Amino acid sequence: MKSRPSFPAKLDTSPPQKMVKPSSPATWTAAKSLRPHSPVASNASGLGLDSATVRSAMVKRLADAGVEDEMVLKALLSVERHQFLDTALANQAYEDTSLPIGFGQTISKPNVVARMIELLRQGKNLKITGKLGRVLEIGTGCGYQAALLSHVAQEVYSIERIKGLYERARENIRPMRFGNLHLLFGDGMQGYVAGAPYAGIIAAAGGDDIPTAWIEQLADGGRLVAPMSVTKGSQSLVVIDKTSSGIQKTVLEQVNFVPLVSGVL
């Protein structure tokens, strides 16, 4: 069995990999094959940071909007989102809004995070009542989604290309002592081959296509959830299932994520 890096780990940076379409046969299925998603109305403003109460209200709104996976809901209840934000923004932590985290990046809306993690856990490679196997996250950001993933997966590798954000996420997460979470500094477009194969891959940035490296590192029966530019000027959430007969892609609702960029800063 291959050894795994201890926390935290650092990737070797090599020339960025060009994004190309996967050579495997692909089938585009209708979005109706997956459960529809409802937007979440935000009414958390003014509740203050009696954190448990406000967070519980946020989770209830997400459940009312259609999030059904109990493990995802419990993770959202357990992880304190305000701990990943600057103090000046803490009173907005449990509103359904994206917020700046520095370096031109944002923390995604709670409903978007919940939606993507639930989709990841609906893949064919797991039983919904149990934890996912090994997961790769592209784009650690401030570390919030990585912390959530550590509650729903057996092992998590999370890659961040911006050194300042990687260091911030490391400081945010270190006190939480997640033994199954490994933070990596490197080019997420290359994935992380040393941890492959992955039961799930989830990305917080979108490009014109899905990097071949991600497809190659996804286990047979695994699932990838990522934003992608399906039409010019707009992104959609895309689910990719890797099967024995090829790659199946499903295009879902429109989303708005930062662009997927190669290299490190």
Locate the domains of the chain by residue range: 26-259
CATH 3.40.50.720 corresponds to the domain 26-259? no
Name the token pair of 261.
Answer: 């960029």
| Nearby residues of 157 by Cβ (< 8 Å), 6 or more positions away | 134, 135, 136, 137, 182, 184, 192, 195, 198
Instruction: Count how many residues are written for the chain.
Output: 265
- Sorting pLDDT into bands at 50, 70 and 90, what band is 37? low
Statement: residue 17 has pLDDT above 50: no
**Degrees (nearest 5) of the Cα angle 108, 164, 183?**
70
Question: Mean pLDDT, the chain, as a whole number?
Answer: 85
Which positions are annotated as active-site residues?
108
Statement: residue 19 has pLDDT above 80: no
**Degrees (nearest 5) of the Cα angle 196, 198, 201?**
120
Write the pLDDT tens digit of every residue in 210-264.
Answer: 999 999 999 999 999 999 998 888 999 999 999 989 999 999 999 999 999 999 9
Statement: residue 13 has pLDDT above 90: no
Q: Against a cut of 0.75, is the pTM above it?
A: yes
Name the token pair of 87.
Answer: 């103090």
